Amino acid sequence: MNLKSTFHKMWPLYLLVIMMWLKTYIVYKTSFDIKIESWMQELILFINPLSFLLFFLGITLLVKEKSRIPLLFVLGSIASFILFANVGYYRFFNDFLTIPVLFQTSNMSDLGNSATELIQFSDLFIFADLMILGAVLAFAKKKNNMSITQPLLKRDKSAYVLLAVIISIVNLGLAEAERPQLLTRTFDREMLVKNIGTYNFHIYDIILQSKSSAQRAFADGSEFVEIENYLKANVRQPNEELFGVARDKNIIIISMESLQNFVIGETIDGEEITPFLNDFIEESYYFDNFYHQTGQGKTSDSEFLLENSLYPLGRGAVFFTHGTNEYQATPEIISDYGYYSSVMHANNKSFWNRDIMYQSLGYDRFFEINDYTVTEENSIGWGLKDKDFFEQSIEHLKSQPEPYYTKFITLTNHFPFELGEEDKMVNEYTSNSRTLNRYFPTVRYMDESIKHFIQRLKDEGIYEKSIIILYGDHYGISENHNKAMAQFLGKDEITPFDSIQLQKVPLIVHIPGQEGSTISRVSGQIDLKPTILNLMGISTQNQVQFGADLFSSNKFPFTVLRDGSFITSEYVYTANTCYEKSTGEAIDVAACEPYMDKAKRELELSDKIVYGDLLRFYNGNDYLGEEVLKQEEN
Ligand code: GP9
Ligand code: MN
């Protein structure tokens, strides 16, 4: 086999493969934050784009000679665009794209400002190789001394395929040695990209997606036995004293956009960042060890946790991927108890597929952008400013039959944290991260709008007959800003342990007539539903739920995050490392081992319910397997 002649005959193909390969590696190093721990990992990262590029661009060998170059450009553009989309997505979400996220095109159009923030001039680099190839080909044509496409013999093609196969085997072999069971464990996208490369990761993702569609089709409800057993074994007695304190009271929930717990009680240039919340905490129950458990679905994932006490998915937003499943969400449950339920959020109703999902969750009404007067003057960033949003919502709130369960979703404290000068009440921070710098004034603004809202509730006489629950939906500052964050927190660096601590979000529960207190038991958004139902005096015994009443002293102090990291009262486990909570020091992983299985099982069982749409087999009391299947057959 004459590799040299093969190379010579197919030089445009090889040239593009090599350029795209190096480009991808440069993008890895500059646009993604992929943690490399050894030279072997670096080597795998370096070679991992190659196998895909050889196969993908090699498709050009299957077509006629004259179509080869145009097809090479088409394929090159597709792969470059995929890389480009990943770079933009990563800039904000600190994560790689997945198929479900990609199909959320209705969200893309809403991204507006954020999208332009996310695209940078330097991204043109991603298409530089195609431009270079174009220029070289034009030059070669002019010179006419380098033939561009030549007839290929079978053995030329075989040599090429052989090379691609060998490189793939080497890549996979090294990856498997470095990280056994890589492809069977899917928690961590970064690990996958690190080992098999961003392009192959997408192929893997497509396979997963088709598998999960098949999962629903094959589920027959027999899976329920295992789930019921697990839930029964883990059931905890809720707090009896608080059972029913909210009966017939309104439930007002405020989802606070991107609010992390580290700002609570903190100051910037001597000014409190959340003065109102700091005061409100004093007269409420405040959970200072409460974690968000969201994945790629961000706000919508936090809503999913809140309403279902199920985990969102490891990939995509469950609001999108499983928006028409059968659920037994809080709004549906409480309608039997005379409650009216609604959501207020001044954004397009289709964002995060909310319009569809809210029906599945059993909401009576969704007050969306068309229910608000949104003008240029009262908008910033993603839309209606929080203060105006709350002010306009008061009328909606008053129009509802009581008692009601109403969820407010704020918006102003959203990346890229834009705010007009007139609304800035604290200074920006000074660091190398514009994002972190701007975070504080928008948090301060949100705090002020909530203060205003609570005052309005008092004016309207709603406050005293309502339980008010405020929680942060997810992180606002991603790990991309670790350096600035370390500076703000006065640390040398942000360790993986610190990163987990930064996933704490505030949870505040205000019950009229009760002084409240600070509760430091480890907990998460999964616990909201059982807590709320218990306050409402609704028994949670037969609920399919993974959380527990936060007020119960029996609650197991354990919270698993969507990436499989977990927190107990003594330990934090993340990135295959066990940390002692009191010191933040890495210790022997054996200490975390007893909880590792539980963490994995919780996520697996919850995923099973979602993928198999298993709640269609459950009526809240009995397993309905046979009946449901018969109905579906007809
Ligand atoms: C969109 C708002 C923000 O309506 O909830 O969503 P996020 O980007 O935070 O998930
Ligand atoms: Mn959000």
Contact, 484 vs 257, CB < 8 A? no
Is residue 44's pLDDT more than 80? yes
Model-wide pTM > 0.75: yes
Lowest average pLDDT, out of 204-208, 457-461, 532-536, 596-600, goes to 204-208
Q: Which two tokens stand for residue 417?
A: 């944290």
Report the Cα 283 to chain-centroid distance in Å: 32
pLDDT in the model for residue 634: 65
Q: Which residues belong to CATH 3.40.720.10 in the chain?
A: 241-552
How many A from CA of 299 to the centre of ligand 1? 5
1: pLDDT strictly greater than 90: no
Does 525 score more than 90 pLDDT? Answer: yes
Nearest-atom number in ligand 1 for the CA of 345 is 4
What number does the ligand 1 atom closest to the CA of 348 have?
A: 4
Looking at residue 183, its pLDDT comes to: 74
Q: Which residue of 89, 293, 352 sits with most ligand 1 atoms within 8 Å of its CB, as the best mutation to test the pocket?
A: 352
Nearest ligand to residue 93 Cα: 1
Q: In sequence order, what E strands does 378-459 have?
A: 379-380, 383-384, 404-409
How much is the average pLDDT of 466-479? Answer: 97
Catalytic, out of 6, 60, 98, 299: 299
Ligand located closest to 297 CA:
1
Ligand 1 atom nearest to CA at 351: 4
Q: How confident is the model at residue 9 (pLDDT cuts 50, 70, 90)?
A: confident
Average pLDDT rounded to a whole number, residues 475-495:
96
434-445 confidence digits (pLDDT tens): 999 999 999 999
Q: What's the whole-number mean pLDDT along residues 313-340?
A: 92
Lowest model confidence (mean pLDDT) among 209-223, 263-277, 375-389, 552-566: 209-223
Tell which one of 347, 415, 477 to mutate to probe ligand 1, the residue whose CB is within 8 A of the most ligand atoms.
347
> Higher pLDDT residue, 624 or 44?
44
Exposure class string for 275-299: b at 16+ Cβ within 10 A, else e: bbbbebbeebbbbbbbbbbbbbbbb
Whole-number pLDDT of residue 147: 65
Q: Is position 531 annotated as part of the catalytic site?
A: no
Q: Within 13 Å and on the Cβ side, how many CA atoms surround 101?
A: 22
The two tokens of residue 539 are 């028994």
* Radius of gyration over every alpha carbon of the chain, rounded to an integer in angstroms: 27
Nearest atom in ligand 1 to the alpha carbon of residue 255 is: 5
- In the reported structure, the alpha carbon of residue 302 is separated from the centroid of ligand 1 by a whole-number distance in angstroms of 10
Q: Give the pLDDT score at 348.
A: 87
pLDDT at 195: 93
Give me the pLDDT at residue 316, please. Answer: 82
pLDDT of residue 146: 60
Mutate to test the pocket of ligand 1, among 300, 301, 439 (most ligand atoms within 8 A of CB): 300
Q: Whose CA is nearest to atom 7 of ligand 1?
A: 299
What pLDDT was estimated at residue 205? 87
Ligand index nearest the alpha carbon of residue 411: 1
Residue of 299, 345, 407, 446 with the most ligand 1 atoms within 8 Å of its CB, for mutation: 299
Give the position, in ligand 1's atom list, of the atom nearest the Cα of 473: 9
The residues facing 586 across adjacent strands are 579
Please report the pLDDT score of residue 622 as a whole number.
64
Ligand closest to Cα of 382 equals: 1
pLDDT band at 283 (very low <50, low <70, confident <90, very high): very high
Per-residue confidence band for 214, with pLDDT thresholds at 50, 70 and 90: confident
Task: Report the chain's mean pLDDT, rounded to a whole number.
Answer: 91
Ligand 2 centroid to 546 CA: how many Å? 22
* 375-393: average pLDDT: 96
Residue 591 has pLDDT above 60, yes or no: yes
| 94 backbone φψ class: left, alpha, beta (φ>0; ψ -120 to 50) | left
Q: Which atom of ligand 1 is nearest to the CA of 474?
A: 9
- Does the structure show a pLDDT above 70 at 186? no
Ligand 1 binding residues, C-beta < 6 A: 298-299, 345, 347, 351, 409, 411, 414
Measure the N-to-C terminal CA separation of the chain; round to a whole number of Å. 61
Query: Which of 3.40.720.10, 3.10.450.50, 3.30.9.90, 3.40.50.720 would CATH assign to domain 241-552?
Result: 3.40.720.10
pLDDT at 113: 57
pLDDT of residue 628: 60
Please say if the pLDDT value at position 203 is more than 90. Answer: yes
Mean pLDDT along residues 400-412: 98
The Cβ of residue 398 has, within 10 Å, a number of other Cβ atoms equal to 11
Which of 203-217, 495-509, 534-548 has maximum average pLDDT?
Answer: 495-509
Considering every ligand atom, which ligand is closest to the CA of 386?
1
Least confident of 136-140, 220-224, 572-576: 220-224
Tell me how far the alpha carbon of residue 394 lies from the centroid of ligand 2, in angstroms. Answer: 22
530-544 tens-digit pLDDT? 999 999 999 988 889
Closest CA to 551 of 514, 520, 580: 520
pLDDT reading at 317 higher than 90: no
CA 281 to ligand 2 center in whole angstroms: 22
What pLDDT score does 94 carry?
Answer: 76
Q: Does residue 104 surpass a pLDDT of 70?
A: no
Nearest CA to ligand 1 atom 6: 299
Alpha-carbon span 257 to 382, nearest angstrom: 11
Q: Whose CA is nearest to atom 9 of ligand 1?
A: 299
Instruction: Say if residues 62 and 161 touch (Cβ distance below 8 Å).
Output: no
> For 122-164, how does the pLDDT look when each residue is reduced to its tens digit (9 = 90+)?
899 999 999 999 999 999 888 875 667 778 888 889 999 999 9
